């Protein structure tokens, strides 16, 4: 079992992790980034990206993450393709164990493990991912201008997605498995007032339908949760909006979480409740969840880690002199 030490260890390789690495490497901190189980994060399952600044034409999500990875490496980041499976944040240096058996110790830590959209678990859902199935209206809604879409869910996320899509699509059908929504009343009022939105109650998606070359979604088959009756409706896109699950399993018993399970950070900061540990991107951001905001938080985390290291080194030098 080998042990490797870094001034800064970054866990996660989405926009937050790579941006933190770029800033830290340029500050001569020599960061190590552990890429995790899905290098590149959620953008690797995204096709066209039109809302990341700096690109006049649509770009591919995997390509964007590949460029961020190369940029991080070019400025001096060491990238390790491994997965952290155990973390001890009780004292500094922090101690983290990887799936390979390697132990990483670090003076500071940036947690950028992201979040995963919750999916329905249908095989057809996976088949049409990026070909009509999405979990992010603000990412992909633009492609459904003047088209018909289905939103699945009944909480704040689903209602907000439906309202957003109503500005773009010709018709939005919200499918909910119960007979009432769980979202805030003010959101429900807006939803029910919108003439472009229809709600189908007591129903769940039984199958996502499609075909063609290239393949594309053409409809959904719904199953009534009370009667079991099936019905098919045509649609151009399906947005799954049943929430996100932040990847906090390694840390949830050691750190303070928000009520919804995301890592808690100080206001206008990436500082967590453990000094020297910073959180950036979707693992802490339960509001925006965009690549560009994740990248911004990665920048913040690196700058705050750099400041923490500088202050700690001064303290250590004073203690040594005494």
Q: Which of 2-6, 115-119, 127-131, 163-167 has the lowest mean pLDDT?
A: 115-119
Average pLDDT, the chain: 93
Is residue 209 classed as helix, strand or coil in its secondary structure?
strand
Q: pLDDT tier at 187 (50, 70, 90 boundaries)?
A: very high
Residue 314 has pLDDT above 80, yes or no: no
pLDDT in tens, 199-255: 999 999 999 999 999 999 999 999 999 999 999 999 999 999 998 889 999 998 999
pLDDT in tens, 12-63: 999 999 999 999 999 999 999 999 877 888 787 666 788 899 999 989 889 9
How crowded is the C-beta side of 143, counted as CA atoms within 13 Å? Answer: 21
Catalytic residue (choose from 57, 107, 127, 136): 136
**pLDDT for 244:** 82
Is residue 115 classed as helix, strand or coil in its secondary structure?
strand
Percent of the chain clearing pLDDT 70 (strictly above):
96
Host H or E run for residue 60: strand 59-60
**pLDDT for 49:** 84
**pLDDT for 316:** 53
**Burial code of 193-211, b = ≥16 C-beta within 10 A, e = fewer?**
eeebbebbbbbebbbbbbe
- Joined together, the tokens standing for residue 201 give 């109650």
Give the C-alpha separation, 199 to 177, whole Å: 11
Q: Which of 47-51, 156-160, 192-196 has the lowest mean pLDDT?
A: 47-51
- Joined together, the tokens standing for residue 12 give 């996660």
Catalytic residue (choose from 99, 107, 140, 179): 140
Rounded to an integer, the average pLDDT of 179-191 is 94
Residue 118 has pLDDT above 90, yes or no: no
**pLDDT for 289:** 85
Is residue 138 classed as helix, strand or coil in its secondary structure?
helix
- Joined together, the tokens standing for residue 246 give 């932040």
Q: Is 299 a catalytic residue?
A: no
Q: Is 139 a catalytic residue?
A: yes
**Burial code of 17-28, b = ≥16 C-beta within 10 A, e = fewer?**
bbbbbbbbbebe
- Is 0.75 topped by the overall pTM? yes
Bridge partners of 198? 173
pLDDT in tens, 128-144: 998 999 988 888 899 99
Residue 310 has pLDDT above 90, yes or no: yes
Give the C-alpha separation, 146 to 141, whole Å: 10
Nearest to 143, CA basis, from 82, 217, 208, 198: 217
Bridge partners of 104? 4, 96
Q: Is 88 a catalytic residue?
A: no
Question: Is there a contact between 286 and 258 (Cβ–Cβ < 8 Å)?
Answer: yes
Catalytic residue (choose from 139, 206, 236, 285): 139
Q: pLDDT tier at 318 (50, 70, 90 boundaries)?
A: very low
Give the C-alpha separation, 6 to 193, whole Å: 55
Residue 171 has pLDDT above 60, yes or no: yes
């Amino acid at each position: 079992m080998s042990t490797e030490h870094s001034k800064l260890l970054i866990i996660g390789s989405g926009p937050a992790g790579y941006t933190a690495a770029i800033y830290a490497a340029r500050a001569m901190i020599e960061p190590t980034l552990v890429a995790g189980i899905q290098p590149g994060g959620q953008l690797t399952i995204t096709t066209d990206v039109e809302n990341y600044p700096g690109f006049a034409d649509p770009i591919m999500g995997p390509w964007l993450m590949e460029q961020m990875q190369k940029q991080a490496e070019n400025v001096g980041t060491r990238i390790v393709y491994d997965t952290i499976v155990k973390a001890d944040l009780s004292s500094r240096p922090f101690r983290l164990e990887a799936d390979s058996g390697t132990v990483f110790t670090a003076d500071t830590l940036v947690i950028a493990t992201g979040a995963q959209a919750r999916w329905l678990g249908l095989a057809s859902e996976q088949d049409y991912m990026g070909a009509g199935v999405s979990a992010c209206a603000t990412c992909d809604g633009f492609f459904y201008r003047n088209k018909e879409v289905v939103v699945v869910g009944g909480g704040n996320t689903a209602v907000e997605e439906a309202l957003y899509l109503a500005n773009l699509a010709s018709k939005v059908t919200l499918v909910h498995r119960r007979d009432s929504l769980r979202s805030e009343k003010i959101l429900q009022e807006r939803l029910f007032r919108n003439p472009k939105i229809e709600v189908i109650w007591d129903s769940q998606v039984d199958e996502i339908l499609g075909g063609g070359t290239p393949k594309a979604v053409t409809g959904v088959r719904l199953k009534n949760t009370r009667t079991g009756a099936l019905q098919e409706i045509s649609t151009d896109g399906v947005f799954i909006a049943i929430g996100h699950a932040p990847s906090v399993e390694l840390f949830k018993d050691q750190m303070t979480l928000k009520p919804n399970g995301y890592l808690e950070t100080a206001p206008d900061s990436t500082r967590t409740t453990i000094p020297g540990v910073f959180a950036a991107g979707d693992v802490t951001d339960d509001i925006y969840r965009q690549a560009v905001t994740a990248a911004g938080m990665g920048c913040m985390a690196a700058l705050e880690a750099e400041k923490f290291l500088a202050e700690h080194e001064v303290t250590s030098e004073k203690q040594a002199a005494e």
